Amino acid sequence: MTDIEICHSSCHSRRMTTNPNPSPPSPSSEPAPRRRLGTTGPAVFPLGLGCMGMSALYGESDRAESLATVHAALDAGVTLLDTGDFYGMGHNELLINEALRTAPAAAREKALTSVKFGALRTVEGGFTGYDGRPAAVKNFLAYSLQRLGRDHIDIYRIARVDPDVPIEETVGAIAEAVEAGHVRHIGLSEVGADTLRRAASVAPIADLQIEYSLISRGIEDRILPTARELGIGITAYGVLSRGLISGHFGRDRALAPGDFRGMSPRFQGDNLDRNLDLVDALRKVAGGKGVSVAQTAIAWVLSRGEDIVPLVGARRRDRLAEALGAMEVTLDAADLAAIEEAVPAGAAAGERYPSAQMAHLDSEH
Ligand SMILES: NC(=O)c1ccc[n+]([C@@H]2O[C@H](COP(=O)([O-])OP(=O)(O)OC[C@H]3O[C@@H](n4cnc5c(N)ncnc54)[C@H](OP(=O)(O)O)[C@@H]3O)[C@@H](O)[C@H]2O)c1
């Protein structure tokens, strides 16, 4: 298959929908589509559900709707649920625990948990650093297992490299947890090519979780080729740039105190204006195909390769249904060229994190 006609779901052949708000794919006897996370990782549904916004960083969330969204995702075939122990200081893991306890047994058994650890927080919600010492890894893991109510975590990763602890030691501690049966696979988050290589020399790495979208293409130069060389999959986050390129974010949107987007450079002043101009250009392409802006943006990430699994940050069932509709979208060469013209590489105004947080990104060094 060339990039002239890329079908995103390796095991099925759904065609492009013309409904911008389609329902999630209905259960059928067809085998669920799958993408494998690296050469050693699990096979997962092509879209994962990122649960962060249900507990933190994007303002208030509705608990009942969050639970219903996780259930709807599992019902549609989603297998990978992504969280972090620091998302709402354990709130997100407890939410996933409840969602899985109250889900049908078959869905619960297929669910895979992907958990980030290592962030050090304050009572006020600040971030004070990262702890990747082996003893800390085991401590974080013990608490996460308890909060999740599971006897293992499917993919475990440090959220950011601890600059005081060699990555080999942090990954080595997770490898010991794999040996002990408490973790199934090792992942990484926001690391650069050199760290990927060092980590992979210690133990098999299933996936690298990293921001990747039409307006965040930094991984394409070195990180993605290195991951491919090493047989490491990508779980892409921020595929809608935290809602900025979803088509639902307006210039007049009021943000709650503590909302990440209130501090993110891409959501400020002139940067926001310029970025929303890009969204307007993308809206024309999406409209021409009869799909939504968010579906186009997610489909673009899906089209980058079978080794890439976008995590969508839906926290409502309507947003989830829209995101799942992206799996129906086929982008041909003309579509990809039109998307590139609307949102050329490097076109985003502003960095993807505030400068203090950029400094923690091994992937940006
Ligand atoms: N490893 C890391 O460093 C890292 C960092 C950040 C996130 N993550 C993980 O990646 C996941 C996804 O990240 P993200 O939340 O920033 O990604 P995202 O999918 O780019 O953005 C999610 C936001 O987009 C808005 N949105 C609008 N239409 C949507 C649609 N159809 N489907 C989904 N969202 C829609 C939602 O806002 P409304 O709810 O207001 O509509 C939501 O707050 C997180 O939940 C987390 O698990 C990892």
Q: What phi and psi, each to the nearest 5 degrees, are found at residue 52?
A: -50, -50
According to the model, what pLDDT value does residue 29 have?
A: 61
* Ligand 1 atom closest to the CA of 295, numbered from 1: 31
C-alpha distances (whole Å) from 6 to each of 211, 238, 283, 342 are: 22, 22, 21, 20
Cα dist from 48 to 76, 108, 207, 247, 265, whole Å = 11, 15, 13, 20, 26
Q: Do 275 and 350 meet the contact criterion of CB atoms below 8 Å apart? A: yes
Helix axes 269-289, 333-342, angle to 10 degrees: 160
Q: Which residues are catalytic?
A: 87
Angstrom distance (rounded) from CA 40 to CA 171? 15
What's 317's DSSP letter? H
Above 50 in pLDDT, residue 3?
A: no
* Ligand 1 pocket list (CB less than 6 A): 50-53, 58, 82, 116, 159, 189-190, 209, 237-243, 246, 248, 294, 311-316, 319, 322-323
The structure tokens listed for 240 are 């809608």
Q: What pLDDT is attached to residue 258?
A: 87
Tell me which residue has tokens 């407890």: 94
Q: Among the atoms of ligand 1, which is closest to the Cα of residue 242? A: 21
Cα distance between residue 352 and residue 365, in whole Å: 14
Q: Ligand 1 center to residue 243 CA distance, Å? A: 7
pLDDT for 32: 82
Question: Which is higher by pLDDT, 67 or 126?
Answer: 67
The continuous run of DSSP H or E covering 5 comes out as strand 5-6
Which atom from ligand 1 is nearest to the alpha carbon of 83?
47
In angstroms, what is the span from residue 202 Cα to ligand 1's centroid?
31
Q: What percent of the chain has pLDDT over 70?
A: 92
Q: pLDDT confidence of 28, banded at 50, 70, 90? A: low
The pLDDT mean for the chain works out to 92
**What φ, ψ does residue 168 adopt, rounded to 5°?**
-60, -35
Question: One-letter amino acid identity for 134?
Answer: P
pLDDT of res. 139: 98
* Residues recorded for the chain: 365
* Per-residue pLDDT reduced to its tens digit, 174-221: 999 999 999 999 999 999 999 999 999 999 999 999 999 999 999 999
Beta bridge partners of 157: 116
CB count within 10 Å of CB 166 equals: 16
- Delineate the domains of the chain, giving CATH numbers in brackets: 5-364 (3.20.20.100)
Task: Please tell me the distance between residue 194's alpha carbon and the centre of ligand 1 in angstroms.
Answer: 27
Task: For residue 283, give the amino acid letter.
Answer: R
Region for residue 329 given its phi and psi (left: phi exceeds 0; alpha: psi -120 to 50; beta: otherwise): beta
Compute the distance between CA of residue 77 and CA of residue 33 in angstroms, rounded to an integer.
Answer: 9
- How far is Cα 335 from Cα 346, in angstroms, rounded to an integer? 19
Higher-confidence residue of 238 and 126: namely 238
Amino acid residing at 110:
K
With a cut of 80, say whether residue 168 has pLDDT above it: yes
